[in-house]
Every structure is written in C-alpha cells, then in structure tokens.
Copies of this chain bind each other. A is one copy, B any other.
Amino acid sequence: MDAKEKKLEQVIRLAHGNGGKLTQELIRGILLPRFNNSFLAPLNDSAVFEVGGTKIAFTTDSYVIKPIFFPGGDIGKLSVSGTVNDLTVMGAKPLFISCSLIIEEGFPLSTLKKIVSSIEDTAEKAEVKVVTGDTKVVEKGSGDEIFINTSGIGIVSPEIEHLSSDRIEIGDLIVINGTVGDHSIAVLSQREELGCGGSVVSDCAPLYGLLEEIRLYWRYIKFMRDPTRGGIAGVLNEIVQGKKFGIKLWEKKIPLKEETLAFCELLGMDPLYLANEGKIVFFVKREKADEIVSALCGHSLGEKASIIGEVVADPPGKVYLETIIGTKRVVDMLVEDQLPRIC
C-alpha cells in the first residue's frame, strides 16, 4: 500500500461520492493508478479518441439522485442531460446514448413509464438517440427505487477540438451561463420539505443547443466543464490543481437566485459548492468574453450569463473569492457535505 492509498479511509463514506476532496482521492489513489492510460489520465468529462479519422467523445455517468422526482425534472431527464452535457463540454455533438436501469423490486411500473418517457423527451430535445440498454432488478432493500446509467457518444467538431485545460492562460476570463446552485436547492427543498427555496427549480437541461448558439466564438473558448457534484468550487479546484495559475472569482458577479442565497444563509451552505445540471463554466479569451456573454444571453439557457472570474498568476494552484465586502478567501475543494445523492 503506497502513501496515497494509506491516506484513504478504510471504508467508502458518503463523502467519497460528493465530487470533492475524497472523490478526488478515490479516483487518484485507487482508480487512476490501475486504469492508467492516456485517454483516462486527463480526467475530463469525456474521453476523446479517434476512430477511422473521426474524433469521438465517450462518457458515462450513473444517476442515484434522491428523490427521483424534483422541481424542474426527474432522474430520467437528469440522466440524459448530465451525459449530454459531459459530451458538450468536450466540444462534442452528442449523438447516441445508452440507458441502463437498476430497479428495486416493487417499483411501480407506472412510475417507470413516467421516467422512461422523460428520458425519451429529453433525448428528443437533445437530438440524441437511445440506441442500447439494459435492465436489472435487485431485491427490495438492495437498491433504492431506481438507478440509471447513461453512457454517451458524440463527435468532436474540428472547430473546437482544441479544448484543453493546458490552453488556459493568465488573463483568461471565466464565464458561466446562469444562476448557480439551482439544482441542489430544488432537490434539497424537495427532499427535506424545508419550506424555503421551494420556488427554485432545477436547471437540469441538455446544453449542446446553447453551445451551438455561440458557434461563432468556439475558437475563443479554451476549456469548458459542467459544474455538477462539488459545484463551481469543485471543478475550478480540479482545474488549478498542479497548475502555474490560480483563479480569482468575484462574488458580486456570480449569478444567484435570491431564494438560493436565503437558503444558503439559513443552512450555512456555500453556493459555490452546490451542484448544477444546466451550467457550463467557460474559460475564454479575455477580449471576447463580453461578446460571448452577450451571445449566451440570446439563448433561453444562457439568459443570466456572466463573467465570474479570471485566471491569475498568484496564488498558483488556488481558487479564491473576492467577496462583496472586498475581503478575500480561499475556496478549497469540498471535504464533507450534507448533499449525498444530488445526481
């Protein structure tokens, strides 16, 4: 057992699945050393490889969200959107997805039908086809209603095949296409019946259409990620890890619903760690950032787009926030959280 492995706890904890520090340790400590290959190593949202001269992106995600229906969506819509978005942020046009169900014995068929319809509706909107699938059933108590895995295949356009975190430079600006944390707030308010945040609906949506809207600017986009589990803080920290640059975020520029803010204040949560399912974080060439924001605002899924930060020289490898009152604080990767099964 090497030092990296020793650092890990002896059993899996919920926090191993939160997209934060423990997830990273699990991936880097146990999975990556064994699956070592050049496709997986960059830990992007999809693997990209060539088949017969065509650049293909390939991705997978299992969805274990609870509850399976939430304001703005359900596990079916989520399972298509999430996978389509993992392809989208690699610059790939999503084409084909798989759909594999693990269903708990006793699950109502009427509910299954609703979820399957939702998968199909979302696939149609996203212009992808569900081409292969699988269904497994586990005994009552050995699962929790339904888990869905979708894997996806897309084709990377030559116009945008350059995307890589290695292309990020000091001075680049960071853009997001709308309000942060909507998905987590919608799910939590449903789950806990908290009586606040109840008007927030999940942002869960397939985003390739939005990316097409700004096709004119593809050459100015250097890298993209979708800030799901672990939130903006999670993806930005992954990006700066081991890099010679840092990221500065402006709190006042981060789009946030009032209800989200109220919810976070009440529960002592930080919106930067909340999951999003209809957002992309773009790293773009500074001079084009304003135009890109304007272009995003022209699409229904980008109306609240905003420049939220910049790539800075100092401190390298860190993400920090310039708060509304002018102070600075480091935004570290999530360690513990209260949001298991948010996707």
Contact = CB atoms under 8 A, between A and B. Distances in A.
Chain A interface, >50% SS class: mixed
A332 interface: no
B31 A105 contact: no
A103 B12 contact: yes
Contact of A62 (B5, B136, B142): B136
Interface in A130-160: 130-139, 141-144, 147, 149, 151, 153, 155
Contacts of A321: none
Contacts of A5: 113
Contacts of A204: none
Interface in A83-105: 95-96, 98-105
Given A9-B109, A54-B52, A109-B8, A98 B131 contact: no
Given A16-B103, A51-B54, A134 B62 contact: yes
Interface residues of A, number: 81
Nearest to A27: B135
A109 B46 CA distance: 25
Contact of A340 (B56, B100, B130, B137): B137
Interface of A: 5, 8-17, 23, 26-27, 30-31, 34-35, 37, 39-40, 46-47, 49, 51-54, 56, 58-64, 66, 95-96, 98-110, 112-113, 116-117, 119-120, 123, 129-139, 141-144, 147, 149, 151, 153, 155, 340-341
